[in-house]
Homo-oligomer: A and B are copies of this chain.
């Protein structure tokens, strides 16, 4: 079973998982090259290898999608990434904008025993510090339905449950304006011209948010 993936292979599998919205949608060579900060030629070579190893389905010029075993691997890596992020924030007092890079390294540590013990140690968390769901040991994720703040209309209410990406500058800005997961939020006004919003938050009162920010914040679907 010479099974174990190289660090590079793991990063490709994870990127394919994260770019492909549905398991169906094929991921393009260029999208992968962008995401992995490499060149399309490099990607072409690597997807041939992953295809040979049956981790992905691949037809020339038609992009790739993860196979069953590919998805399983991706979920294992994502599980590790997010559990380590919880550890870093909850136990080592890192801020949510500081953990992604370190978790990018820790997600490649190979020991299922370690992951499962870490999971228990952390109290089997279901979401990571950014609101992303943590797959369980069998790869199952429970994802509450959510929508973007930018998709909400005036007078709608909800609870902030996540952020769409982990750009440290975004996260630091959210810290600065005191926005964090779990807050009740109410849209008080939407400006059609630039889609900026005014929203009401507990204690903070009414604050102004640009489209750039509202399009990164996830809100519960039914509140």
Contacts and interface: CB of A to CB of B under 8 A. Distances in A.
Interface in A99-134: 101-102, 105-106, 109-111, 113-114, 117-118, 121
Contact of A121 (B92, B117, B118): B92
A96 to B, nearest CB: 15
A101 B117 CA distance: 16
A105 B94 contact: no
A149 B30 CA distance: 63
B105 A117 contact: no
A42 B156 CA distance: 66
Interface string A68-109: 000000000000000000001001111000100110011001
Contacts of A106: 109
B88 A114 contact: yes
Contact of A118 (B92, B109, B114): B92
A102 B114 CA distance: 8
A6 to B, nearest CB: 12
Contacts of A110: 105
Given A121-B91, A121-B92, A109 B105 contact: yes
A73 to B, nearest CB: 17
A118 B110 CA distance: 20
Nearest to A118: B92
A109 B117 contact: no
A44 to B, nearest CB: 26
A93 to B, nearest CB: 7
Contact of A114 (B92, B109, B114, B117): B92
Contacts of A102: 109, 111, 114
13 contacts: A88-B114, A92-B114, A92-B117, A92-B118, A92-B121, A93-B117, A94-B117, A98-B113, A101-B111, A102-B109, A102-B111, A105-B110, A106-B109
